[in-house]
A and B are shown apart, each in its own frame.
Chain A
Amino acid sequence: MRRVALALLVSVALSGCVQTRQYADVEFTPPQGDYKLLVMRPDVEVGSVTTGGLVEPRADWTETARTKVMAALRAQQAERGGNVLIMEKRNSLPGVDPEAVAELERLHYAVGSSIALHKYSGAYLPTKRGKGLDWTLGEDAVALGRKTGYDYALFLHAEDSFASTGRVALQVLGIAGCFVGFCAPNIGGAGQFAYASLVDLRTGEVVWFNVLQAGSQVAGIKMGDIRTDAGAAQMVDRLLDRMKPGRNVQRRAQAQ
């Protein structure tokens, strides 16, 4: 009995994890001091994991989380000294056509998907080897920067999901099964996924990209909750607070 419990504990401890993986332009220096940051409408989705493992979106949770994440972003940026505007809607930017904002969002979606494929999903491109992060939104982004005076644009997507009672019950059965020789300790299914993408509006380039995954393989154990103040702050912190400079910048710093 003791051996099983120990094995379980180990597997539980191993299976809960939080990881981030960031890439930066080789010449990227994290924004400091008096910079102007435009946060594009954050895309937040929160749902419940059904017994069968499907994620069911929840409107009320999503609304709460969106508000909390925006508040956490504001607080985090204030600490860094940035001058920040968070767009709650596509028309939150005076003097800028919401359709132009929509176009830029769609363009970023395409570019972001390409980064996800070639940097994170294993389809590495030999032409981009050793170049850090080498993607751009081009002239449209520069035009937005010129028009509004912002230095950076941040694109943010965050998902969170929580195991339903049924899912937790299934997990309990799965663990109980370990005592009769049918062991399913890692049903999982709930967790956080988020990404952030920083675009330099003076050059149009995507200068920094980060992906956060936080989840537990055991249904019912949470690794964060963006519906709460603390949870939203934790997610924003995990995602944005440890920006590393680009490779060339790091090398120059080491050489000195």
Chain B
Amino acid sequence: MSWSRRSLLAAGGSLAAASATGIAEARVLPKDMVPLIGPGYRAVDPDEKGMWQQMERVEEEVSGSNLLIKDPQLTSYLGDLIGHVGGPAAKDMRIYLARIPEFNAIMFPTGFAVVFSGLLLRMRNEAQLAGVVAHESAHFLRKHQLRQWRDMRRKTDIFSFVAIGAGLAGGVAGVYAGDLVQLGQLGTILSLLKYNRTIEAEADAMGVRLLAEAGYDPMAMSETWEQLIGELDLSAKYRRKRRDRSFTLFETHPSPDSRMADLKISAAEVRQPGKTYDAFRDRYLNALGSIRPTLLDDQVKLNDPGASQYVVETLAKDGWNGLLRFYEGEVWRLRNSSKLGDETRAAQGYAAAVAYPDAPPDAWRWHGIMLLKSGKRLEAHAAFARYLQLAPNAPDAALVRQMMNG
């Protein structure tokens, strides 16, 4: 019997199509997600010990990185948070905060996590942040990286023997087995990716459970995903694109949509009916303290107006203030499309910002510049005066003074 290349490809393609459309991946249940490690856990097997040894070096580098935000109040807040939602190994985990304006957090196999500053920007309250931290903790509690490594090792081992075996059999029978081996390789890769998605689904389910056990509203996690989807949609729309919806089969993570749906169902399972949950927004904002303007500033400078607008408006759902209005203006000023009237929109943002007592000095500065551009000299001067009063040592103070006199 001999297989033609074309028939093999056709078979492979239809197989792939069937598994992509026909069978949805089943939801992992929170109740099944028991922690696999207890407090004070150390590596046991040789492969795990090797991994831990490497990770010690990684942690040394991460903890010394100059990307870290080392604000003592904020870092101790994050440490306390993972110590609260991290389940049985809570006290063993560490969090490092890196100044990277992206929505992301990573857990390493030895129990230290890196949280990106872009994540803190997007969280509306402590419950949402606790949800992400709980998800990352679940990776450690379920030994995900180790299990993933073992899965990869096992599957590549099997594939190697199958490939050699197919070659040998082909050699004996006088048939070229290369096509079959390639199909096997594709299968191996798909199976590795599938395992990765399973791990993410596990971390979501366990995160929901940890969140509920720590007394937070487990629904906070699906809210976060809802926000992410909204942001991706608007970001894509402004770029006249559609949100990237890749073929699930080739993804490392389940799609945001299916994650959100699963998170909602899981949260409903563990939520206590009738209980009112506090989202701890004030405590969160207090912990963010003075870095919130930096977080917003890093975001608006990414040149992603759709995402930035979405983020600002999402945060404003809890109430507008001078800071958010100012950055709303910044989004339009930096996009700077005359066709879309961005200058007017920016000017409106700054004008709205200065109406709040917490408007940053720069809001007054830009408000003044916009007024000057529209020929309102006297009002502009008043705004500049306010700017100089709020920031007498601003690097451009002399220039602003000259603009007022000139």
Segment from B46-54, B200-208, B313-321, B329-337 that makes contact with A: B46-54
Query: What A residues does B170 contact at CB under 8 A?
Result: 182
B261 located at the interface, meaning its Cβ lies under 8 Å from any Cβ of chain A in the complex: no
A56 located at the interface, meaning its Cβ lies under 8 Å from any Cβ of chain B in the complex: yes
Pick the contact of B164: A47, A102, A173 (CB < 8 A). Answer: A173
- The chain B residue sitting closest to A171, CB to CB, is B164
B355 located at the interface, meaning its Cβ lies under 8 Å from any Cβ of chain A in the complex: no
Chain B residues 41 to 83 lying within 8 A of chain A, measured CB to CB, are: 43, 46-47, 49-54, 60-61, 64
- The chain B residue sitting closest to A169, CB to CB, is B161
Q: How far is the CA of A242 from the CA of B43 in the complex (A)?
A: 41
Q: Assuming the A-B contacts A50-B153, A52-B160, A180-B171, are A62 and B53 also in contact, with contact meaning beta carbons closer than 8 angstroms in the complex? A: yes
Q: How far is the CA of A53 from the CA of B188 in the complex (A)?
A: 14
Question: Is the beta-carbon distance between A59 and B153 smaller than 8 angstroms?
Answer: no
**B184 CB to closest chain A CB, in angstroms?**
12
A57 located at the interface, meaning its Cβ lies under 8 Å from any Cβ of chain B in the complex: yes
B156 located at the interface, meaning its Cβ lies under 8 Å from any Cβ of chain A in the complex: yes
A33 located at the interface, meaning its Cβ lies under 8 Å from any Cβ of chain B in the complex: no
B250 located at the interface, meaning its Cβ lies under 8 Å from any Cβ of chain A in the complex: no
Q: Assuming the A-B contacts A52-B153, A177-B171, A181-B174, are A58 and B50 also in contact, with contact meaning beta carbons closer than 8 angstroms in the complex? A: yes
Q: How many interface residues does B have (CB within 8 Å)?
A: 30
Question: Is the beta-carbon distance between B171 and A181 smaller than 8 angstroms?
Answer: yes
Question: Is the beta-carbon distance between B50 and A57 smaller than 8 angstroms?
Answer: yes
Chain A residues 170 to 199 lying within 8 A of chain B, measured CB to CB, are: 170, 173-174, 176-177, 180-182, 184
B404 located at the interface, meaning its Cβ lies under 8 Å from any Cβ of chain A in the complex: no
Query: What B residues does A106 contact at CB under 8 A?
Result: 61
Query: What B residues does A102 contact at CB under 8 A?
Result: 60, 64
A54 located at the interface, meaning its Cβ lies under 8 Å from any Cβ of chain B in the complex: yes
Query: What A residues does B43 contact at CB under 8 A?
Result: 59
Q: Which interface residue of B50, B54, B157 has the most chain A CB atoms within 10 A?
A: B50
Question: Is the beta-carbon distance between B54 and A57 smaller than 8 angstroms?
Answer: yes
**B192 CB to closest chain A CB, in angstroms?**
11
A138 located at the interface, meaning its Cβ lies under 8 Å from any Cβ of chain B in the complex: no
Chain A residues 56 to 102 lying within 8 A of chain B, measured CB to CB, are: 56-60, 62-63, 99, 102
**A181 CB to closest chain B CB, in angstroms?**
4
Q: Assuming the A-B contacts A52-B153, A52-B159, are A57 and B51 also in contact, with contact meaning beta carbons closer than 8 angstroms in the complex? A: yes
A228 located at the interface, meaning its Cβ lies under 8 Å from any Cβ of chain B in the complex: no
- The chain B residue sitting closest to A55, CB to CB, is B50
B377 located at the interface, meaning its Cβ lies under 8 Å from any Cβ of chain A in the complex: no
Query: What A residues does B52 contact at CB under 8 A?
Result: 59
Q: How many interface residues does A have (CB within 8 Å)?
A: 27
- The chain A residue sitting closest to B188, CB to CB, is A52
One digit per residue, 1 when the CB lies within 8 angstroms of any chain A CB and 0 when it does not, for chain B 162-191 equals 001101101110100000000000000000
Question: Is the beta-carbon distance between A52 and B156 smaller than 8 angstroms?
Answer: yes
Q: Which interface residue of A53, A54, A57 has the most chain B CB atoms within 10 A?
A: A57
Q: How far is the CA of A51 from the CA of B164 in the complex (A)?
A: 11
Question: Is the beta-carbon distance between B156 and A170 smaller than 8 angstroms?
Answer: no
Question: Is the beta-carbon distance between A54 and B152 smaller than 8 angstroms?
Answer: yes
One digit per residue, 1 when the CB lies within 8 angstroms of any chain B CB and 0 when it does not, for chain A 20-57 equals 00000000000000000000000001010011111011
Q: How far is the CA of A184 from the CA of B54 in the complex (A)?
A: 33
Query: What A residues does B46 contact at CB under 8 A?
Result: 58-60
- The chain B residue sitting closest to A99, CB to CB, is B64
Query: What B residues does A45 contact at CB under 8 A?
Result: 54
Q: How far is the CA of A249 from the CA of B54 in the complex (A)?
A: 41
- The chain A residue sitting closest to B167, CB to CB, is A182
B5 located at the interface, meaning its Cβ lies under 8 Å from any Cβ of chain A in the complex: no
B237 located at the interface, meaning its Cβ lies under 8 Å from any Cβ of chain A in the complex: no
A149 located at the interface, meaning its Cβ lies under 8 Å from any Cβ of chain B in the complex: no
B155 located at the interface, meaning its Cβ lies under 8 Å from any Cβ of chain A in the complex: yes
Question: Is the beta-carbon distance between A60 and B167 smaller than 8 angstroms?
Answer: no
One digit per residue, 1 when the CB lies within 8 angstroms of any chain A CB and 0 when it does not, for chain B 236-273 equals 00000000000000000000000000000000000000
Question: Is the beta-carbon distance between A51 and B167 smaller than 8 angstroms?
Answer: no
Q: How far is the CA of A63 from the CA of B160 in the complex (A)?
A: 30
**B340 CB to closest chain A CB, in angstroms?**
42
Q: Assuming the A-B contacts A47-B50, A62-B53, A181-B174, are A56 and B153 also in contact, with contact meaning beta carbons closer than 8 angstroms in the complex? A: yes
Q: Which interface residue of B158, B159, B161, B174 has the most chain A CB atoms within 10 A?
A: B161
Query: What B residues does A182 contact at CB under 8 A?
Result: 167-168, 170-171
Q: Which interface residue of A53, A59, A177 has the most chain B CB atoms within 10 A?
A: A59
One digit per residue, 1 when the CB lies within 8 angstroms of any chain B CB and 0 when it does not, for chain A 102-121 equals 10001000000000000000
Question: Is the beta-carbon distance between A177 and B168 smaller than 8 angstroms?
Answer: yes
Q: Assuming the A-B contacts A54-B153, A177-B171, are A170 and B164 also in contact, with contact meaning beta carbons closer than 8 angstroms in the complex? A: yes
Question: Is the beta-carbon distance between B168 and A51 smaller than 8 angstroms?
Answer: no
Q: Which interface residue of B52, B157, B158, B174 has the most chain A CB atoms within 10 A?
A: B157
**A157 CB to closest chain B CB, in angstroms?**
12
**A43 CB to closest chain B CB, in angstroms?**
8
**A219 CB to closest chain B CB, in angstroms?**
11
Query: What B residues does A54 contact at CB under 8 A?
Result: 152-153, 156
Question: Is the beta-carbon distance between A180 and B168 smaller than 8 angstroms?
Answer: yes
- The chain A residue sitting closest to B50, CB to CB, is A57
One digit per residue, 1 when the CB lies within 8 angstroms of any chain A CB and 0 when it does not, for chain B 296-324 equals 00000000000000000000000000000
Instruction: Given contact pairs A52-B152, A57-B53, A173-B161, enumerate 7 new A-B contacts (beta carbons under 8 Å).
Output: A45-B54, A52-B157, A60-B49, A63-B53, A177-B168, A180-B172, A184-B167
Closest 7 CB pairs of A and B: A52-B156, A182-B171, A57-B50, A51-B157, A59-B49, A59-B53, A180-B171
* 16 pairs of residues in contact across A and B, judged by CB atoms under 8 Å: A45-B54, A50-B156, A51-B156, A52-B153, A56-B50, A56-B149, A57-B54, A58-B46, A59-B46, A59-B53, A63-B53, A177-B167, A177-B168, A180-B172, A184-B164, A184-B167
Residues in A lying within 8 Å of B, measured CB to CB: 45, 47, 50-54, 56-60, 62-63, 99, 102, 106, 166, 170, 173-174, 176-177, 180-182, 184
